[in-house]
Amino acid sequence: MAALQEKKSCSQRMEEFRHYCWNPDTGQMLGRTLSRWAWISLYYVAFYAVMTGLFALCIYVLMRTVDPYTPDYQDQLKSPGVTLRPDVYGDKGLDISYNVSNNRTWTDLTLTLHNFLAGYSPASQEDNINCTSHKYFFQESFRAPNHTKFSCKFTADMLQNCSGLVDPSFGFAEGKPCFIIKMNRIVRFLPSNSTAPRVDCAFLDQPHGDGRPLQVEYYPPNGTFSLHYFPYYGKKAQPHYSNPLVAAKFLNVPRNMQVVIVCKILADHVTFDNPHDPYEGKVEFKLKIQK
Amino acid sequence: ARRGTGTEDVGKTDTGDGKEKYRGLKDKRLELKKNHQKEELKKEVDLEDHKLSIKELERKYGTNIVTGLSSTQAAELLARNGPNALTPPKETPEIVKFPQADGAILCWIAYGIQYFNDKSSSLDSVYLGCVLALVVILTGIFAYYQEAKSTNIMASFSKMIPQQALVIRDSEKKTVPAEQLVVGDIVEIKGGDKIPADIRLLSTQGCKVDNSSLTGNLTPSLRTHDNPLEAENPWNKMSTSPVGTATGMVINTGDRTIIGQIASLASGVGHEKTPIAIEIEHFVHIVAGVAVSIGILFFIIAVSMKYYVLDSIIFLIGIIVANVPEGLLATVTVTLSLTAKRMAKKNCLVKNLEAVETLGSTSIICSDKTGTLTQNRMTVAHLWFDNQIFVADTSEDHSIFDQSSGTWASLSKIITLCNRAEFRPGQESVPIMKKVVVGDASETALLKFSEVILGDVMEIRKRNRKVAEIPFNSTNKFQLSIHETDDPSDKRFLMVMKGAPERVLEKCSTIMVNGQEQPLDDSTAEAFHTAYMELGGLGERVLGFCHLYLPADKFPETYSFDVDTVNFPTSNLCFVGLLSMIDPPRSTVPDAVTKCRSAGIKVIMVTGDHPITAKAIAKSVGIISANSETVEDIAKRLNIPVEQVSKRDAKAAVVTGMELKDMSPEQLDELLTDYSEIVFARTSPQQKLIIVEGCQRQDAVVAVTGDGVNDSPALKKADIGIAMGIAGSDAAKNAADMVLLDDNFASIVTGVEEGRLIFDNLKKTIAYTLTKNIAELCPFLIYIIAGLPLPIGTITILFIDLGTDIIPSIALAYEKAESDIMNRKPRHKKKDRLVNAPLAIYSYLHIGLMQALGAFVVYFTVYAQEGFRPSALINLRVEWEKDSVNDLEDSYGQEWTQYQRKYLEWTGYTAFFVGIMIQQIADLIIRKTRRNSIFQQGLFRNKVIWVGIASQIIIALILSYGLGSVSALNFTMLRPQYWFVAVPHAILIWVYDEVRKLFIRLYPGSWWDKNMYY
């Protein structure tokens, strides 16, 4: 500050600055002559080139050490996350509300489901094989074409009433909406020891309205994810893999009031009690059906 | 009764009169205050009272010299004029110092805005704002605490015992605290008392006063009566009266005393910003400039990349936070106080922490003479008798001159007898030179001299009983006493006399040579004058001695001497010899002056003393070096008039206050630049101020040393004021930034060395601190441009700035100097900056960039091994941060919930943090030196560095493994191998810097040296 506080007029300062920008006596530009600028630029170019090279080398070495099929660590992926379709997020988490009598309020929701299930059309599942074993589908070698592994087929029609094929409105029109629950993929994750993981939906707190528990129809039956969809071997090994889905059709959602529904995945190795992560092993959502 | 009515009358008239006077005083004070900064204040102080008669005084002050004031009058006056105490100097409110961390406050405000704009946004921002505010407050409090601690030392140090005064009130003698004295009080002073206020002497019995704290001289100058500072009467507050008793009337109290006026002159002088404060400010400007320009640049980029404005503002804040070295204020404070502590151990007490460095950049020292360069103790230096000059060195073997001569026997007797000074009883075990003496400075010197050479002086005096005495006074200029001799067979009286040599010689008709009396002829008178001139030319105070044995027939044993009528002869005496005294320089001073010279520091002497004395002392301590001459010297040598001497030939100059008075500022500038060795003599406090200002106009950093009250304005004006701890007055100590506890000028040299070292080390500290800013900044830039998940969070950055980096940066303060710092010139205030372009560029664009790359490697490693390859990360930001995406796919097709990603992001923060930390270890090691190789400096010589490195690692371990579960801190437990990913980069940094230093050493002055040496 002291240097600035010296009484210099504005024009003097401008003059000084101009002199700094271009000094005709020494041929200096911004404190350096042109050749000096060239030299210093050359140095920096060289220096940064070397640095970039070294950095690239580091990243290259890193990529060489990383396994292309399986991640080295899955510290955060001990238990899969669960997502819901249709997914409309409010201020705090999923928040779905619509009016039965006004179809404009739910066409977006059904559209989301249609779009989501487009990936499960027979055409897009063409490359996958049909599995029926209901046991873990372990594949140690790459027997599928192009040095990949097989993936099991999951088509929309497996969701029956909630497939959108029978009822394009997914039950929204009649106030018994379908929701699709998806479990996140984790490479080589085995959800349970023997029984298939199952979806279980219920009101979060207490029964609402008339005090009856939530009545749910699950598709596929029992709301299970068949074990033959597991383990997942990663994108490179299973490029056509599709997550198995479970659809839940809620039959007795009270009208004109907001209810909170939680759908958990019941399996030996899926936990849903992480206080920090609301989407781990379960999905919670608010639902309000107006009439 | 007459007196009584008189008092009443005066009492009555006093009310109006007093008020008038009071108003006058008040006006004067107001005026004084108004003109604090103006030149008028530099006028000499003016007092008239010493010219008034006692009657006039009584009338003026409404008092009576016998009965004193009445208690009610006194109480009234006290209430009106306030206590007789100096107003303590105002302290700057400490809160003012807080906004120093303005960058952080800005962040807080910005976060506040963000919070109010969008209440639903995560509480993280508010939390961070609080943390930042806390940082600001804590560092502020910390700096304040450190400052206050050192100020407290000072406060306890300067605490004075409450002074008492003996005052006559209601016709009774009372002891009251000196604070309660009022104008008009009649006070009695005993030998050894401090004068409690400005008083006008009414009567005195052999009382002298030591005004040295006021004028800077050892004895009051008797030359002029016009200047109250130098007049014999009145006496001034704070002076001490070493001998006799006196009665006086208080004419001024408190701030209105001469002392008070000087003190207000001192407090009126604005304190200049310390050079280090200027440097830190300069540094803050650079950092702020970089932060703001990068911030705005990226704000524009962000906006043009279609980020939300609010997001862009957050980026802006992130960039600023990354750029502000939050911990630096605390670091600098600690570093300075560490040095201050180290200096305190070497008897330099630093009052103002920033002054620690100021001493290092000092280029001119204006030193007071008395008490600083000299011992403030008169000592006999030379003797002249038998036509010969002898050196008297009482500090060593005392038989260096011929003591067999009969003249010496006579001379020694006169010295012993014609002396009123006495040792204070009860000091048998104290060495002679340290004994406390009741008596004035010259008599003390003579007493000690004779005690050393002859033994028990008191015993000799007892044997030669004193029968009559005429004490010294300024009209006679001699002192005379008549004694019985110790020879029982000799019934004659011995009259001894000492005084100003020319006066003494006038009274003599004979001279003693080799013990024989000879008539005083022209040749002996000539010899006397030569000797007198020679001793006087040495700057010494010369006294002449003579004696006379009074014939027994005219003056029998029973003769009654009357000193008032002088019924004895005072002429035709026998001249015995001359003796000269000087206040000798401190033994450590010449060496210290030489060291200052070699360190490129100009030492100027500024004294109130006589030019000849000043010059002699300057020569003996090396301020004027042996082979340099003044214009006058050359003129004398060449025997030509002074005007004909070319000024270029003279290196030294002696300038008196009178000459200085007539000089224009330009002439003073010329003087200061033309001569390398300058002595200012006979200067007033105001002129000292002018000299200091003159030096400061030369862009010099000026240190002023002094002990007296008269020095305090200059001490305050100086860039660094250095007061003497033992001899120094409280006013001087208050005005000073530093106090030399042992009064040793040589301590200044230590201070300069420490100050220069701290400057070098602060440079290293700042370079160290700046480097990581780039590593903290790059993540934001990459985040904005390439859309990577945020590599490092703001809170994590704070943990680097205020956690891992603090102790290492302090550790650099313990670094030893790379070369002999006392052999280089003081830094130029405006050219050698603390933070210069090469430092900033090298830190930011070289090491900082390497660090950023290294830290990014750690970051990419963590993400890649967890599933996100670098290619997948690019432009992932939007999806990554969306709360509504809970199935984000990674490179392996795995799907991540928002929290899982967040946790990985924190792991990334931790990894980036560890990457920076590891490389900061290398940075710390390379910053140990700027030119030498680390191996030349010694890797393990500074143990504190290793403490710093250990602390860095331990703090990081605690953060990751201990606090990894506290989600608010954004740390996670990092896999052990990630701690080592950045190690190759750390080694690369070390190697690169060694190469840099190698080329700097190999090719000094080259392109490389200019661009790479900071």
Interchain proximity A3–B867, CB inside 8 Å: no
| Catalytic entry in B193, B198, B368, B890 | B368
User: Model-level pTM?
Assistant: 0.78
Rounded Cα distance, A283 and A181, in Å:
8
pLDDT band at A138 (very low <50, low <70, confident <90, very high): very high
Interchain proximity B900–A76, CB inside 8 Å: yes
Residue B150 has pLDDT above 50, yes or no: yes
Spell out the residues 6+ positions from residue A93 whose beta carbon is closer than 8 angstroms to its own: A278, A284, A285, A286
**The predicted structure's pLDDT at residue B981:** 94
Residue B240 has pLDDT above 80, yes or no: no
Minimal CA separation from B892 to chain A, in Å = 5
Residue B207 has pLDDT above 60, yes or no: no
Minimal CA separation from A108 to chain B, in Å = 17
pLDDT one-digit tens code per residue, B584-602: 888 888 999 999 999 999 9
pLDDT mean over A78-106: 89
Q: Which of A120-129, B178-187, B772-781 has the lowest mean pLDDT?
A: B178-187
| Chain A contact set for B273 (CB, 8 A) | 1-2
Residue B99 has pLDDT above 50, yes or no: no
Locate the chain B residue with the closest alpha carbon to A70. Answer: B892
List the alpha helices (DSSP H) in B702-745.
Answer: 712-717, 730-735
A244 touches chain B (CB under 8 A): no
Rounded Cα distance, B86 and B91, in Å:
15
pLDDT mean over B1000-1012: 90
Largest Cα–Cα distance of chain A, in whole Å? 95
Residue B618 has pLDDT above 80, yes or no: yes
A117-146 residues touching B, CB cutoff 8 A: none
Rounded Cα distance, B846 and B853, in Å:
11
Helix (H) or strand (E) holding A180: strand A178-183
| Chain B contact set for A278 (CB, 8 A) | 899
Q: Per-residue DSSP letters for B586-651?
A: PTTHHHHHHHHHHTT-EEEEE-SS-HHHHHHHHHHHTSS-TT---HHHHHHHHT--GGGS-GGG--
pLDDT band at A114 (very low <50, low <70, confident <90, very high): very high
**The predicted structure's pLDDT at residue B916:** 95
Residue B285 has pLDDT above 90, yes or no: no
Residue B902 has pLDDT above 80, yes or no: yes
Residue B178 has pLDDT above 80, yes or no: no
pLDDT mean over B495-503: 90
**The predicted structure's pLDDT at residue A29:** 74
**The predicted structure's pLDDT at residue B239:** 58
Selected for mutation to probe chain B from A35, A185, A286 (highest B CB count within 10 Å) is A185
Of all residues in chain B, the percent with pLDDT exceeding 70 is 80
**The predicted structure's pLDDT at residue B376:** 78
3-state secondary structure of B492: coil
**The predicted structure's pLDDT at residue B900:** 93
Residue B9 has pLDDT above 50, yes or no: no
pLDDT mean over B147-158: 53
**Residue A81 is nearest to which of B273, B278, B895, comparing CB atoms?**
B895
pLDDT band at A262 (very low <50, low <70, confident <90, very high): very high
**The predicted structure's pLDDT at residue A269:** 92
Encoded tokens for B771: 């480097």
pLDDT mean over B621-647: 84
**Residue B893 is nearest to which of A3, A89, A185, comparing CB atoms?**
A185
Q: Give the best-scoring range by mean pLDDT among A10-14, B29-33, B75-79, B416-420.
A: B416-420
**Residue B894 is nearest to which of A39, A82, A187, comparing CB atoms?**
A187
pLDDT mean over B946-952: 94
Interchain proximity B887–A83, CB inside 8 Å: yes
Of all residues in chain B, the percent with pLDDT exceeding 90 is 22
Residue B34 has pLDDT above 80, yes or no: no
Locate the chain A residue with the closest alpha carbon to B901. Answer: A76
Interchain proximity A184–B886, CB inside 8 Å: yes
**The predicted structure's pLDDT at residue B93:** 40
**The predicted structure's pLDDT at residue B268:** 59
Spell out the residues 6+ positions from residue A256 whose beta carbon is closer than 8 angstroms to its own: A288, A289, A290, A291
Interchain proximity A185–B866, CB inside 8 Å: no
Catalytic, B9? Answer: no
**The predicted structure's pLDDT at residue B87:** 62
Residue B35 has pLDDT above 80, yes or no: no
pLDDT band at B149 (very low <50, low <70, confident <90, very high): low
Mean pLDDT of chain B: 79
Q: What type of residue sits at position A89?
A: Y
Spell out the residues 6+ positions from residue B824 whose beta carbon is closer than 8 angstroms to its own: B599, B600
Q: Which of B97-106, B118-127, B335-344, B388-397 has the lowest mean pLDDT?
A: B97-106
A50 touches chain B (CB under 8 A): no
Q: Which of A125-139, A194-208, B99-113, B795-809 has the lowest mean pLDDT?
A: B99-113
Residue B829 near residue A6, CB atoms below 8 Å: no
Residue A160 near residue A236, CB atoms below 8 Å: no
What is the ipTM, given to two decimal places? 0.93
Locate the chain B residue with the closest alpha carbon to A277. Answer: B899
**The predicted structure's pLDDT at residue B47:** 53
Encoded tokens for B320: 């600023």
pLDDT one-digit tens code per residue, B571-586: 889 999 999 988 888 8
A69 touches chain B (CB under 8 A): yes
Rounded Cα distance, A273 and B988, in Å:
46
**The predicted structure's pLDDT at residue B17:** 38
**The predicted structure's pLDDT at residue B21:** 38
Task: Give the residue, B724 or B193, on which the prediction is more confident.
Answer: B724
Residue B94 has pLDDT above 50, yes or no: no
pLDDT band at A4 (very low <50, low <70, confident <90, very high): very low
pLDDT one-digit tens code per residue, B826-876: 988 888 888 888 999 999 999 999 999 999 999 999 999 999 999 999 999
Interchain proximity B853–A54, CB inside 8 Å: yes
Please state, in angstroms and as integers, the Cα–Cα distance from residue B972 to each residue in B658, B853, B908, following that order.
Answer: 76, 22, 9
| Chain A contact set for B857 (CB, 8 A) | 55, 58-59, 62
Spell out the residues 6+ positions from residue B901 whose beta carbon is closer than 8 angstroms to its own: A76, B789, B880, B888
Q: Secondary structure of chain A: what % helix, strand, coil (to 5)? A: 25, 25, 50
Residue B234 has pLDDT above 70, yes or no: no
**The predicted structure's pLDDT at residue B160:** 43
Mean pLDDT of chain A: 88
Residue B12 near residue B63, CB atoms below 8 Å: no
